[in-house]
């Protein structure tokens, strides 16, 4: 399990690398339920993934870095690893699904990574990355099931507590579980009274099913690939992540595809809060699922990324 010391060490390492993103007050001062947005869409790669990726790559030995790194991702982690590898002078290979958004594929390539494409299943890209790592000796940089990754993502939680000490509930999107593992650990180990709620698309609500069942539940690739939230199309959460979720997360709720779209449309009205589908799920829970959330006045929702497909953004704007 990741400790508070691990997360604070990651925070020190990330100074000058990751942006200390602001909290943006979304609701008016007259609203009884206040919502602040944690703007991880303002990171250099447009998403929080830089935090964990850099923390992991920086932890590798000189020999591991000389051999190069490999990862697997639907988009934002790919960019995080590519960015970190370039900054540290390391070769990077990323296994990505062929149906990843074009803008994320192009951004990853522009950062200097070599891209290997496979089918839509999250397990398929993991297995291909492991094959290539065994063949070439690359060090694997997992997207979520890793303590260095979790500690890096946990720095988001430390920043929320520092900027809003009276926060009562924090809403966090869940894909493989890296972000919520880190954020929940940072928050609960600092202030156990704060509620941490995960949010998933209904089509990929495997973490919610896992928490309910008390064991890791896997969803079929054909189902999870249908959600608009491409960054949350994981078939199951990681083993390490599940342990953190069971220890620190109060509940997980799910949102519909229509709710994700409506939240994206509302957020796109302000340039600072533009969110990709995965980044809009936490605000969507606040907007549409108040009855499933803690009855708290001071709330934060993490906008995990803003790398929205320009065509999708134009579609939302036209409506």
Give the integer Cα–Cα distance in Å for 111 and 88: 12
State residue 113's pLDDT score: 96
- The CATH number of the structural domain formed by 50-140 is 3.40.50.1100
Query: Looking at residues 69-86, what average pLDDT do you find?
Result: 94
CA dihedral 69, 72, 76, 78 (to 10 degrees): 30
User: Which of 268, 296, 298, 299 lies closest to 282, judged by CA?
Assistant: 299
- Residue span(s) of the chain under CATH 3.40.50.1100 come to 4-47+147-318, 50-140
State residue 319's pLDDT score: 67
State residue 318's pLDDT score: 73
Query: Looking at residues 232-241, what average pLDDT do you find?
Result: 95
State residue 30's pLDDT score: 83
Angle between helices 239-248 and 147-163 (to 10 degrees): 30
Kindly indicate the confidence band of residue 311, based on its pLDDT and cuts at 50, 70 and 90: confident
pLDDT in tens, 127-172: 999 999 999 999 999 999 999 999 999 999 999 999 999 999 999 9
pLDDT in tens, 26-42: 998 888 999 999 999 99
4-47+147-318: CATH architecture: 3-Layer(aba) Sandwich (3.40)
Return the half-sphere exposure (C-beta side, CA atoms, 13 A cut-off) of residue 195. Answer: 18
Tokens representing 153? Answer: 């993502």
Q: Which residues of 22-32 are buried (b: 16+ CB within 10 A; e: fewer)?
A: ebeebeeeeee
CB within 8 Å of 281: residues ≥ 6 apart: 173, 199, 200, 201, 229, 232, 255, 260, 263
Query: Which is higher by pLDDT, 84 or 99?
Result: 84
Q: How far is CA 242 from each of CA 43, 181, 189, 256, 307, rounded to the nearest angstrom?
A: 26, 8, 17, 23, 27
Tokens representing 111? Answer: 């950062």
State the Cα angle at 196 between 221 and 71, rounded to 5°. Answer: 40
pLDDT in tens, 197-224: 999 999 999 999 999 999 999 999 899 9
Tokens representing 14? Answer: 């990330």
């Amino acid at each position: 399990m990741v400790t508070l010391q691990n997360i604070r060490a990651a925070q020190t390492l990330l100074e000058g690398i990751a942006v200390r993103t602001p909290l943006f007050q979304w609701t008016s001062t007259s609203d009884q339920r206040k919502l602040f947005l944690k703007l991880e869409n303002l990171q250099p790669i447009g998403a929080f993934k830089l935090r964990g990726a850099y923390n992991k790559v920086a932890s590798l030995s000189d020999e591991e870095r000389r051999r190069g790194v490999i990862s697997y991702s639907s988009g934002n982690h790919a960019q995080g690893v590519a960015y970190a590898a370039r900054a540290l002078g390391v070769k990077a290979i990323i296994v990505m699904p062929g149906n990843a958004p074009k803008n994320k594929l192009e951004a990853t390539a522009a950062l200097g990574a070599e891209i290997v494409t496979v089918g839509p299943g999250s397990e398929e890209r993991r297995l291909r990355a492991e094959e290539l790592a065994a063949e070439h000796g690359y060090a694997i940089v997992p997207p979520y099931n890793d303590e260095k990754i979790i500690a890096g993502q946990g720095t988001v939680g430390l920043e929320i507590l520092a900027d809003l000490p009276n926060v009562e509930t924090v809403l966090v999107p869940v894909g493989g579980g890296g972000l919520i593992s880190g954020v929940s650990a940072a928050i609960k180990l600092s202030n156990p009274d704060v509620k941490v709620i995960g949010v998933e698309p209904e089509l990929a609500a495997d973490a919610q099913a896992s928490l309910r069942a008390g064991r890791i539940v896997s969803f079929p690739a054909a189902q999870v690939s249908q959600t608009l939230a491409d960054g949350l199309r994981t078939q199951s959460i990681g083993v390490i992540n599940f342990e953190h979720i069971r220890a620190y997360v109060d509940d997980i709720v799910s949102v519909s595809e229509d709710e994700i779209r409506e939240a994206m449309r509302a957020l796109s009205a302000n340039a600072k809060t533009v969110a990709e589908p995965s980044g809009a799920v936490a605000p969507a829970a606040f907007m549409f699922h108040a009855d499933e959330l803690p009855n708290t006045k001071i709330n934060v929702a993490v906008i995990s990324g803003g790398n929205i497909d320009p065509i999708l953004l134009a579609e939302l704007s036209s409506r």
